[in-house]
Amino acid sequence: MIELNKIYNTDCIALMKEMHKQGIAVDSVITSPPYNNSRTVSKTHSAIDTISLRDSNCRYDVYRDNMSNEEYIAWTCNLFDLFDNILTRNGVVCYNVSYGNENPDVMWLMVAEVTRRTNFSAFDCIIWKKKSAFPNDSSTNKLTRICEYVILFARKNEIQTHFMNSEHEDVLNETASHYIARQNIIEAANNDEKCPFNNATYSSSLVTQLAEIYTPVNGLILDPFMGTGTTALAALMCNRRFIGSELSPNQCEWALNRLSSYGITAPTDVIVTEEHIDVQSHQIENKAVVTTNVTKTVEPVKKVAAQKPKAKVNNYNSMLSGF
């Protein structure tokens, strides 16, 4: 059985299919997928293999971020079809993306095609203003980008009803009230730390703020591209739960070490599936079944969410029965 508060060393498509099979639903998806704008972008997608970040311009140790735009868009639409299967009613997808000089088109094309081909539409956009940015002093006509984007998606029939933690304040001597305005800009650090296996790590400050807006307290967050564990860490910091997947064994180990430094005991096993990804058909051929040593049954999210949430998260071990 799939456990909550655990990172799986497997492909996200395989994990989401297994979650759907087991009836596990999440309250939100908060993730930063590959942007498909590495300097090694080519017209064909190479097989997933281990590479040296020092000897290439790639961002990851076990994933080549170099699909063609057509392949990348089809792959992304497939992800959103799977999100549709495991996202609770009125759930939100927070999708951090950006564009690059090497491939400036793909971000905009992806958002348009997800809206056109899937059951989701982009209903809002948050600007992530980073603390710093390297100046783009090698080009005569490019700006220095200090911002990235978090595109917010909801199902087309839930655009007006999607979840958001809105705060009231009373006005006019408590005879009326209105919602406190939230601006669509978040200032947060570029990342938490450097990692030799990932040149595009995430910011727990950003994820915490997103989780507090678009995930209920004690709610469940999916990060299909968990990387170095930033979303897992942020979820625990703000009294949410998580499920994550990550292809790289090195990044899984890095993530578990980060969680351990916060008083969390790492699991004794890392769940691995050997899979072949056929990029043309965007299907996964499973060569091994995801197995765990878990004997308990994970209750559906709706039942778990009905429990009274803890006021504070001081003891992370109490939240991590899977670690």
Convert the pLDDT of each residue in 268-301 to its tens digit: 344 444 443 333 333 333 333 332 222 222 233 3
Nearest to 313 by CA among 244, 234, 246, 258: 234
Strands of the chain (E only): list them. 6-8, 26-31, 87-97, 120-130, 147-155, 168-171, 176-179, 185-188, 220-223, 241-245, 275-278, 283-286
Flag whether pLDDT at 56 surpasses 70: no
Model pLDDT, residue 185: 94
Model pLDDT, residue 48: 41
DSSP label of 229: T
Of the ranges 7-16, 22-31, 178-187, the best mean pLDDT one:
22-31
**Which residues are paired to 178 by β-bridges?**
169
Q: In whole angstroms, give the CA distance from residue 26 to residue 147.
A: 28
Q: Does domain 6-319 have CATH number 3.40.50.150?
A: yes
Classify the C-alpha dihedral 229-237-30-89 as positive or negative.
Answer: positive
Q: In whole angstroms, give the CA distance from residue 144 to residue 126.
A: 19
Tally DSSP H helices, then E strands, for the chain: 7, 12
